[in-house]
Structures are given as C-alpha cells and as structure tokens.
Amino acid sequence: MTIEKKMPQNATYTLAQSSNFLPLTAQLYDLWRERSLSLLTRENFSLEREFALLSEWIQPQTNQTFLDVGTSTGNYARVLARSGGMVTAIDISKHMLEKATARGNNQNIVYEQANVEYLPYPDSSFDGIVVGASLNEFHNTTRALEQMARVLKPDGKLFMMYLCESDTGFGRLVQAPFKLSGVRFPNRQQVAQTLQGLGLQASRAEVRRAIAIELYVKTEKPLETTQAERTLARTAGKPAREPIA
C-alpha cells in the first residue's frame, strides 16, 4: 500500500512530536496504547470500550467520509472503516503509517503523511473527524482546531479523546515537566470556546480523571467575525485566536 506524502515544507516540530519520527516509537506504540486509558483513568478502560464509544457517538454510515487525525497505527481508522465509510488517516510519522498499513490492506482506508495544521483538503470534505490523543501533541492546538473545523462538513461530527489540563494544583505540577517537551494538556473550556467560535457545539462528553472524551457537531457556519478575525490576524502575522496552552 503506498502512503502519499503531503507534508508542508516549513513546519516546525516539538520534541514530543519528533519522538514519533523514530522507528522504535512506532514499534512500541501499540503496547502503550492498549493499556493507556486504564492506566490514566485508573479504571478498566479497554480499547473495546473506547471504540464502542467512538462508534456510538459518530454513528458512521456506508456513504460517509472520515478523517482520522494523528492515526498512528490506525486504530480509529479501522473502527470507522468497518461501517463501510471511506477513511483518510493522516499522521506526520512515516513509521507510524507503515505500522498501520502492515496491519492489513483495507480498501476503505487511505493513509497519508500530512500535518493537521496544514490540511491538504478542501473546505467541507468530511462527515466526521476523529482525534485519538493527538490533540496532546499538536504544535499549535488552535491552528489544528481551525483546520479541522474548515474541512468538516456542516452537521459533521468531531470526536476527540485527550488528556486535558488537570483541575488540581498537584495535577498541573505533574503535567508541567511533560509540557517542556511540547506535550499539550488543553484546557477543556478553551477548547470549547475556540470550537464555538468556529461554529461547533459541544454535544456529548465523558471525563474520567484527566481524560476527556468529547463530541462536537458543526451546527452553523463560522461566524462572520471569525473570518474577519482571521484576516486581521494574518495581516498582523499573529494567530487568529489566543493560542491554547
């Protein structure tokens, strides 16, 4: 299976992102992934339970198109493809994508090496976008959310699972050293505010300790002011919104 390369020329990557360029990270990734939610939530949170939630909330249909952002070894992509829908699964790491394709040829999945902050797809391309823990790694969270909102169709669904900013002082202390390497712990309120400004409304959420699983629906076109904000920001060379830490 060929993996098309659609990477931007001048993107910069954090240390956390760069670790995914190593073959060893891709080799060991599934070992961590199988146990990650149980370890982080300190309850029995199997992959099967997570995938059931993904299917129940997204309700994938045969004639629909999906984008799996930061797919790694293709976990979410395979769940969505079972419905018969077409999935584009992207990652910046060639080794992760090679591991995903090694798990079997699935005619309903196209793997592409691409960066969410520079999505190479037209506006309103996808019925659903899924993001499993990748929000914790994007260089610029706000820019990634803007890009995802852009390529999502009206009424489209955005499913995200991520480690959010801890609401305790001790929790934030534990998260601090990881932040130094570029790992993000997005604040849930800031994510909601940013997405609301882009025309997406919160629909469902489950929070287990620092793990947030959220569903947003694109209910309206982005506000007029959003475009104006973007133009202003572009001409001033600044991000369109306050960046999410």
Site of interaction with ligand SAM (CB under 6 A): 17, 20, 33, 69-72, 75-76, 90-93, 96, 115-117, 132-134, 137-138
The dihedral sign for the CA sequence 18, 23, 26, 27: negative
Distance CA 94, CA 244 (A): 27
CB of 219 to ligand SAM, least distance (A): 25
* Contact by Cβ (8 Å): 216, 57: no
Nearest CB to ligand SAM, comparing residues 138 and 185: 138
CB of 73 to ligand SAM, least distance (A): 6
Nearest CB to ligand SAM, comparing residues 9 and 168: 9
Which residue is associated with the tokens 């823990």?
133
CB of 44 to ligand SAM, least distance (A): 18
Nearest CB to ligand SAM, comparing residues 64 and 93: 93
CB of 179 to ligand SAM, least distance (A): 15
Nearest CB to ligand SAM, comparing residues 130 and 200: 130
How does strand 200-208 pair with strand 211-218? Answer: antiparallel
Distance CA 215, CA 54 (A): 9
Nearest CB to ligand SAM, comparing residues 72 and 194: 72
Distance CA 140, CA 84 (A): 32
**DSSP helix, strand, coil percent of the chain (3-state; round to 5):** 45, 20, 35
Pick from 214, 170, 154: nearest CA to 189? 214
